[in-house]
Structure 1
């Protein structure tokens, strides 16, 4: 079964209309069988399999399939370029970015590649100077997309790209300017589309998977972690104080429902408490909310009034990722920008309330990737946008 909603939800299922012609090659599929003596370390089998995987990756695309639907390497094309980032509140110079993701997918909006599964996608990562090359691309029409760990948002190259057999395309320099209006007042997390940096609790001893013990990078794969929230916060929800709390210890990896004694569930409201020494009452602050995953959830935002109705912002019901139920740490990426009028804020302590009210099942949750509050823009940072792009 090559297509299923079981893990990531229906968002990734190809939507084929009546009488719509469509075909896609899955494979070739390589099956590798190895063996070891009873006296051998079984992990050697795993290391051997990974070594063989590297060989097969270098051999792709295979030249033996005798099908016009699987072009050989000489009938494919390539594309290259250099990705730079501009964020004047970090650096007034153009920044080269290491290990950014750059890929080709069917034409669409920025970020649409996440939910696109009818066509083919080809991805790579940049080197330390932002250079990238994608080889062995099937001929066709694409958009070029990118996202950069350390920065929010999605990049899309402004022109469509046509890949022709045997042709190499050099885009030269391309520039990504991530969403930004003003200087950072505070931030929580790391913008990498994962919740892995946040606090992941120890599992209930009766559910512990010993294979995952002493593997901190895989703690989130233990079973039943969603129910630990109610044990850690039995009476009140999470409160995070900027400048005091540590997101690695004090921010639960998922905003889950609280399991009650009668085995029903209750929505939760998290608080971010922060201090402002001065307020621009006429300015607009920007609250950036990047989500690493959402499952049948709703995110409501209120500022300094936990009972405000309607809330300042509501996402509506979003997500079908199933990440927490499948012991994952990320799913589809969501990015929201909430305008916060300076009139809603006060000098001294302020509180942002993040509510997830949907509570029918234990699986309804939000995983945050990164949260940032920006002050109104500083006019001296509104620099000329001088282009260094070189295109063909």
Structure 2
């Protein structure tokens, strides 16, 4: 804690109503300096909050912010959250809940006696030289490194040897079991966000966000938390990743918190201990390795972007069974699609069920759901329809800027002999990609075929013509762009599902070809593949 000599001219906290506060020299505290500044903390740490920033922040007597911008919050239109109207709104023998209020929201710090950190509900610092996410751990680029290269994109520079550094290389998924901890750390200090539950985070299993990076404009090390609701833990330590991981497991085991607060509804603790169910297909296949999402009810928003309610994510076992734990009561929608490696990656229909009622019980069994499939005859398929490019060359690898440069302009793939890894994960350069295949028999008279083109991401502008045996069957023109490709992702962005009918008489016995010919592309943009599937109607 800062020396008491540095806490001069401070006024006592003035709660709005009478609250019995913790006592003792090690009690957590909130002290008013003036009408614009206050100090909060305990015997381990304290932070001075003024304007929209918290700085300095002392941990065991050392200022961990130094000359960086400081701890801050940012919300709609990049407005900073001002630390206004501070007050202690709740307290116990060993904790206080300090609330800040403006015309947009309230933000709480729950500070416990002697605890290195604070629980927050409703980011940022410096001289942390390393970052950690579940995908990536290591040294962050330094400010002088950014300025030794040529800026080619926001927060992205190229060096004389042709390599790049981008803050987007540190983007990561936030809604999968591995993504429960991220932070920045140095030789003797660590600053972490711990997510004991992901129920209040937006989106499905494929949601990605930027969590840690070095700010190219200021040189600050940034730690980001894209908040959506209930408590998480901001945790400070001596820079030990193993300690942060150990603390994470303790927080997960304590979830849902018996959380003292003045701002969370009573329904927070109204839960079903477990919710189970099973998915099978209408052609009698078990729903093996399906991604299952319990999300917003009667909502036409893509699961990737759902934000209104609470969200739960899991994967089915080999027999199609799934389980969600500690589900808050309410009405939900149930969604599923093939996960990575699923044997059901040839299903093109949607699985969606609304009005799933979750009540307060130890266990809820939703029973068995039947997923109606498209009932067509498969001719061939490249990859699987799992919204991911992991089977293809470069797909689902380490994030990195300009990896689209490695994509071939021309590619020929032969059904029956080429392997999925020969197909590249992204089409990004002008040229032609051909899929050659043979039909052993004459097509049935009057039979049409259906070509499914599923994209894991798309960044405009990428225009292409799609032809079957030289006949144009469709086009891909400028769809709404997502940022996955030019922001370093090799995994996924916004999923796109396209279908094209091939008229009777076009497919022939013996040699046939499907060709994707690009007519317009832009550097570092393009189409990230999920699957290409050809079926008889």
Per the alignment, residue 251 of structure 1 pairs with 423
Match of 2:436 among 251, 273, 282: 273
* Alpha-carbon distance between aligned partners in 1 of 2:304 and 2:291, rounded to the nearest angstrom: 16
Q: Partners in 2 of 1:51 and 1:3 — Cα distance?
A: 34
Question: Partner of 1:122 in structure 2?
Answer: 312
CA distance in 1, matches of 2:280, 2:506: 33
The change in CA–CA distance for 1:284 and 1:169 in structure 2 (over 3 A counts) is same
Report the equivalent of 1:155. Answer: 351
Tell me if the contact between 1:256 and 1:268 (Cα under 8 Å) persists in the aligned partners. Answer: no
- Corresponding position of 1:288: 452
RMSD: 3.2
Whether 2:524 is the aligned partner of 1:346: answer no
Q: Which residue of 1 aligns with 2:256?
A: 61
Question: Counterpart in 2 of 1:104?
Answer: 295
Counterpart mapping for 1:66-81 below 5 A:
66-67=261-262, 69-71=264-266, 74-77=269-272, 80-81=275-276
What does 1:1-392 align with in structure 2 at a 5 Å threshold? 1=74, 25-35=228-238, 45-67=240-262, 69-71=264-266, 74-77=269-272, 80-86=275-281, 88=283, 93-98=284-289, 100-109=291-300, 112-149=302-339, 150=342, 151=345, 152-153=347-348, 154-157=350-353, 159-165=354-360, 169-182=364-377, 184-200=378-394, 219-229=397-407, 232-233=408-409, 237-248=410-421, 250-257=422-429, 267-278=430-441, 279-296=443-460, 297-298=462-463, 300-305=465-470, 308=471, 311-328=472-489, 329-359=491-521, 361-376=522-537
Are the structure 2 counterparts of residues 238 and 117 from structure 1 closer, same or farther at C-alpha, using a change threshold of 3 Å? same
- Bigger share in helix: 1
Preserved contact between residue 267 and residue 328 of structure 2 (Cα < 8 Å):
no
TM-score under structure 1 length normalisation: 0.69
Q: Secondary structure of 1:160's partner?
A: strand
Distance 1:118 1:171 in 2: 23
Deviates more, 1:132-141 or 1:330-339: 132-141
**Residues 35-79 of structure 1 deviation map (CA, whole Å, 9 limit, x = unaligned):** 36xxxxxxxx43443343233233233221414535566323466
- Pair 1:98–1:218, CA change in 2 (3 A): closer
Q: In the superposition, relative to structure 1, how do residues 143 and 188 fare at CA in structure 2: closer, same or farther (>3 Å)? A: same
TM-superposed CA distance for 1:321, in Å, is: 2.2
The structure whose RCO (Cα within 8 Å, separation 6+) is larger is 1
Question: Do the aligned partners of residues 72 and 60 (structure 1) sit closer, same or farther apart at CA in structure 2, a change above 3 Å counting?
Answer: farther
CA distance in 2, matches of 1:87, 1:162: 24
1:302 and 1:218, CA in 2 relative to 1: closer, same or farther beyond 3 A? Answer: closer
Give 1:188 shift: 0.7
**C-alpha contact 1:81 1:173 (8 A) present in aligned 2:** no
Partner of 2:224: none
Gaps of 5+ in 2: 1-73, 79-167, 173-201, 204-226
- Offset of residue 365 of structure 1: 0.9
More strand by share: 2
Tell me the alpha carbon deviations over residues 188-245 of structure 1, each in whole angstroms, 9 at most, x when there is no partner.
1133221122112xxxxxxxxxxxxxxxx8644233211223xx54xxx111111222
Q: 1:1-54: per-residue Cα shift (whole Å, max 9, x none)?
A: 46799989xx98xxxxxxxxxxx9534231223336xxxxxxxx4344334323
Distance 1:55 1:321, change over 3 A: farther
**CA separation in 2, counterparts of 1:256 and 1:198?**
14
Q: TM-score, normalised by structure 2?
A: 0.52
5+ unaligned residues in a row in structure 1: which ranges?
A: 13-23, 37-44, 201-216, 258-266, 377-392
**Is contact 1:25-1:70 (8 Å) kept?**
no
